[in-house]
Amino acid sequence: MDLILVNLIDGLVTGLLLFMLSAGLTLIFSMMGVLNFAHASFYMLGAYFAFQISLYLGFWMGLLIAPLIVGVLGAGVERYGLRRVHQYGHVPELIFTFGLALLIEEVVQFIWGKSQMAYSTPEVLQFTAFSIAGNAIPAYKIFMIFISIAIFIGLLWVLTRTRVGMIIQAALTYPKTVEALGHNVPLIFMGVFGVGTALAGVAGVIAGPVLGTFPGMAFVLGSIVFVTIVIGGLGSLWGALVASLLIGWITTFSKAYNLRMEDLLIALGFEKPDVIWDSPWRDLWSLTSPQIADILPYILMVLILIFRPHGLLGKRDA
């Protein structure tokens, strides 16, 4: 029982982190109609920038400045890169962001080298917030939860309660009409792209110290972010939140408990072959949940695409 609570918290942290990445990506997608393959690379840039800044000015300045730099970089990429490629259609855009992802990874390796960076949590937060049955919950995790929730509420408020948010929402669905009404739609697009990448930057800043700051960090998280927004529904902020939490909890629980396929199959009424190592089903029988934890979200995505193509809370087809 205690362990369930601990795993709920762990899954929440993973999910919220994923949300910060997918929120930006889903906004960018609904705006441009194109998946930004370089999104996780901005997450990596956030971590590296924050690490570099933290060497001179400390963690908190890193948290403040790094996402800004990443956001400005992102806006620059939209203004001088994507906007030019946009006229040639979606495929060149996809290839552009894909190339950008590779480029960013190489640049990071060139500047910071290939080793793991010594980026660590700030001293103020290096204590155990509370423990549940001997399982310590570090204060930093609580901090991560609060930052992510604050960002979610802030985003929701801006998008639904302010004039800017309404213009953005309008521009997402009817860009031509909004433009005809005298709004600068390209500027809005650039702004959304900048904010989206800045969000990825924030995620990088706060995830870097716990998940490690190394050149492979974008790759490790890259594909799962796409899965998240497909499951949640493209362009839906709430969908991104629900899908992120779902994925966070599914992977955490399946890793934390050794559920065996053997037990499931027996419960379903199958009989275990006597000589298991000769059976063609050997691999199936010996499967455990931690082994397949990381592919469960992909299975979920396939199911969603089959039965609910516009995602959990999305309004249009994936």
Q: Binding-site residue total for other proteins (CB under 8 A)? A: 43
Is residue 58 within the footprint of other proteins (CB under 8 A)?
Answer: no
**From candidates 1, 56, 87, 134, binder to other proteins by CB under 8 A:** 134
- Which helix (H) or strand (E) is 301 found in, with range? helix 296-307
**In angstroms, how far is CA 73 from the centroid of its own chain?**
19
Shortest distance, CB of residue 32 to other proteins, whole angstroms?
A: 27
Is residue 110 within the footprint of other proteins (CB under 8 A)?
Answer: yes
Is residue 286 within the footprint of other proteins (CB under 8 A)?
Answer: no
> How long a stretch of residues is the chain?
318
Q: Residue 168 is which amino acid? A: I
Q: How far apart are CA 288 and CA 167, in angstroms?
A: 49
Q: How far apart are CA 49 and CA 70, in angstroms?
A: 8
Q: Closest CB to other proteins among 68 and 129?
A: 129
Is residue 145 within the footprint of other proteins (CB under 8 A)?
Answer: no
Beta bridge partners of 128: 138
**From candidates 8, 91, 95, 118, binder to other proteins by CB under 8 A:** 118
Shortest distance, CB of residue 267 to other proteins, whole angstroms?
A: 22
Helical pair 163-173 and 2-32, crossing angle rounded to 10 deg: 70
Is residue 63 within the footprint of other proteins (CB under 8 A)?
Answer: no
Is residue 210 within the footprint of other proteins (CB under 8 A)?
Answer: yes
Q: How far apart are CA 247 and CA 14, in angstroms?
A: 8
Is residue 116 within the footprint of other proteins (CB under 8 A)?
Answer: yes
Q: How far apart are CA 154 and CA 24, in angstroms?
A: 13
Extract the tokens encoding 1. 């029982």
Stretch that binds other proteins, among 39-47, 68-76, 130-138, 176-184 (CB under 8 A): 130-138
Q: How far apart are CA 48 and CA 204, in angstroms?
A: 8
Is residue 294 within the footprint of other proteins (CB under 8 A)?
Answer: yes
The residues in 150-179 that bind other proteins, with binding defined as CB under 8 A, are none
Is residue 220 within the footprint of other proteins (CB under 8 A)?
Answer: yes
The burial class, CB within 10 Å (0-12 / 13-18 / 19+), for 249 is middle
Stretch that binds other proteins, among 117-125, 184-192, 264-272, 276-284 (CB under 8 A): 117-125
Q: How far apart are CA 35 and CA 49, in angstroms?
A: 24
Binding site for other proteins (CB under 8 A): 3, 6-7, 10, 13-14, 110-111, 113-120, 128, 131, 134-138, 140, 210-212, 214-216, 220-221, 224, 251-253, 255-256, 258, 290-291, 293-294
